[in-house]
Amino acid sequence: MSTNPTQRYQSPNQRAWSRFLKNKPALFGLGWIVLCVVIALLGYLISPDSTPNANDQMPDVALKNPGFSIQVLKVKKNQTYESQNFLTTMIFGKSNSYRMVPINNFEFVGDSIMVEEYAGWDSEFNEIIEGTPRNFHLADVVFPIEPNKVSFQFQGENIEFKTIDGASQKTTLVELEKTIRKDLMIKKTYWLGTDLYGRDMLSRLLLGVRISLLVGLIAVGISLTIGLFLGSLAGYFGGRIDDFIMLLINTVWSIPTLLLVFAIVLAMGRGIGIIFLAVGLTMWVDVARIVRGQVMSLKEIQFVEAAQSMGFKTWRIITRHILPNILGPVMVIAAANFAMAILIEAGLSYLGFGIKPPTPSWGTMLNENYGYALSGKPFLALIPALAIMLMVLAFNLVGNGFRDALDVKSRT
């Protein structure tokens, strides 16, 4: 029977990767994770609401259905803002220097713009509710002008004024009107609707990816560090060290995960770093138990005995010879722990013990909107719930793919 030369000389890792690539559900999970990582890295650059925490509130458009569109007038806020570079904006967002005013219609009158503010939709008569009329000076819409402390000087259609930083500005009413029509009169669409505070659901959903991936990454990092260390000690040395570590493992194992996380959070506070630490400290037992069993079986194999006979130090034998040979099971449990960490964080935030508002966490979004699930606005709760489900499913599919690919019985 002939064998494909490319398969004959493949390393075990290459053969495992080939098997993984044939697993379509695992590839779907990996693709979804990669997409989420890209979204998390770009962050505010792709978010429709790029303000910090996507917390730009417009109460007038609260609880709108997905696809809702409204005409908005952007009015310059009368305050100064520091300039930000590309990287800072991508990571932390950028404060909106404009006040967003939803309107029904507008009209330019002399040196002002008359608008009718949006007041909602009358479903009984199937028409827009007449809103309150408001008047904005054209220069006050375009520039940050401190009210009641500057005077406008007119010369025909020319206008001269000072901004809040003391700078003198000269322009014309025609130019101001053109600027407003072109740049400050926009149509804003909420593709996933708005929440109770009039915030863009899509923006908060996209930024929530960061929290979920970050809590998973940190929690898995903590669990792997503690689990590999304690599991290696218990499995390699045995005896009293093994008895003590197993007692510690069984003690932590016996405490319900959420109860232990609650205790850590209540003792140390509700900071975002504490949440990550608390989740990580509850997940190392799974890693330690698996590593212990793997190390106990591998330390009796000849290559380990050979390393011992050559006088290699204990930590070199563990880190250079044993741990690399158990990465397969560790990767599988790491993927499962990643999914579990996302669920734990979402559960904590849903119960009010997790990420503090207004930080956009999927669990916090569920906590804020679950009451609307049965009151005609189910999308407010279904959207973050679906995001959590897809993320957890993706990591479970990848974990199952790793398990199947690394299973020696599956080799053909």
Closest residue by Cα to residue 361 from 208, 243, 239, 226:
208
| pLDDT tens profile 295-347 | 998 887 877 778 777 878 888 888 888 888 888 888 889 999 999 999 998 98
Section 379-383 average pLDDT? 91
Burial-class residue 6 by CB neighbours within 10 Å (0-12, 13-18, 19+).
Answer: exposed
Residue 397 has pLDDT above 50, yes or no: yes
Residue 271 has pLDDT above 80, yes or no: no
> How confident is residue 165, by pLDDT bands cut at 50, 70 and 90?
confident
Return d(Cα 75, Cα 161) in angstroms, integer.
17
Lookup: tokens for 358: 């207004």
DSSP 206-258: HHHHHHHHHHHHHHHHHHHHHHHHHHHHHHHH-HHHHHHHHHHHHHHHHS-HH
Residue 412 has pLDDT above 50, yes or no: no
Domain boundaries for CATH 1.10.3720.10 within the chain: 12-36+202-410
> Hunting for tokens 């520091």 — which residue is that?
82
DSSP 315-368: HHIIIIIIGGGGHHHHHHHHHHHHHHHHHHHHHHHHHTSSSPTTS--HHHHHHH
DSSP code at position 100: E
Residue 152 has pLDDT above 80, yes or no: no
pLDDT at 409: 53
DSSP strand E in 83-184: where?
Answer: 98-109, 112-117, 121-122, 127-128, 133-137, 153-155, 158-162, 168-172
pTM of structure: 0.87
Fold of 12-36+202-410: MetI-like fold (1.10.3720)
Contact 355, 380 (CB under 8 A): no
